[in-house]
Amino acid sequence: MRLTQSSPFQFSLVILLVSLLSACGFHLRGDYDIPDALDTMSFTSYDEYSTFTRVVKRQLRMNEINLVTPAENVPNLTLVSESISERTLSLYQNTRAAEKELTFHAVYRVTIPEIGDKTFTTSVTRSYLDNPLSALAKSVERDMLEDEMRKLAASQIIRQMARLKANIEAGTMNLDKDGAKISTKEMAQQEADRKAQEKVGSDLSNSDSVN
């Protein structure tokens, strides 16, 4: 069997390409292309010590976003609320829940100086079998699912931030999916929806803390 070795020319070509990429300022980021205007931003949360807050912070750093102290001239990402709800999908013959569905719901707001702010929501849904004969395994599985949903929700937040490039170029946060400016009536409806989302998220969070 004959082994193929890299020629000096191929090696030199690789070195040249690496040098060119470095010279033009190219660098790998995370999974998403965050706009340059959001390279530096502040991050606040309704609960600075929650697991989801730590997960989102980790995602921001993975995408090379420099987190700084909140200021009027600095973009901001705010976690407004988070909650986990569940519903029964199927039952055993004894009417006990056999399969359950978990939904992680988060409300967050992105503020960009001189452009405005916009509130978004993200949801992740997963299902699992509720086996009454293995309560410990069921508890561990649920914890793992919740961690997975938080990570996916954090990724969705970063993905949405990457989509704000059109808003930044247009100078407004009020754009529809086709990039056109939203009318005053639509803006008012969005504001009403935003307040309703925040209230629902807050109520769910308070309910979870009481339980």
69-115 pLDDT, tens per residue?
A: 999 999 999 999 999 998 877 877 766 767 888 999 999 999 999 99
Contact call for residues 60 and 43 (beta carbons, < 8 A): yes
- pLDDT for position 29: 47
- pLDDT for position 82: 96
- pLDDT for position 128: 82
Tell me the C-alpha distance between 146 and 181, whole Å: 37
Q: For residue 124, how many C-alpha atoms fall within 13 Å in the half-sphere facing its CB?
A: 17
- pLDDT for position 42: 97
pTM of the model as a whole: 0.68
Question: Which residues are 43's β-sheet partners?
Answer: 77
- pLDDT for position 49: 94
152-172 pLDDT, tens per residue?
A: 999 999 999 999 988 888 888
Is the pLDDT at 209 greater than 60? The verdict is no
Is the pLDDT at 62 greater than 60? The verdict is yes
Domains of the chain in sequence order: 28-210 (3.30.160.150)
14-59 pLDDT, tens per residue?
A: 555 555 544 443 334 456 789 999 999 999 999 999 999 999 999 9
The side-by-side arrangement of strands in the sheet containing 66-68 is: 66-68, 40-45, 76-91, 97-112, 116-129
Q: How far apart are the first and last CA of the chain?
A: 68
2-16 pLDDT, tens per residue?
A: 444 545 555 555 555
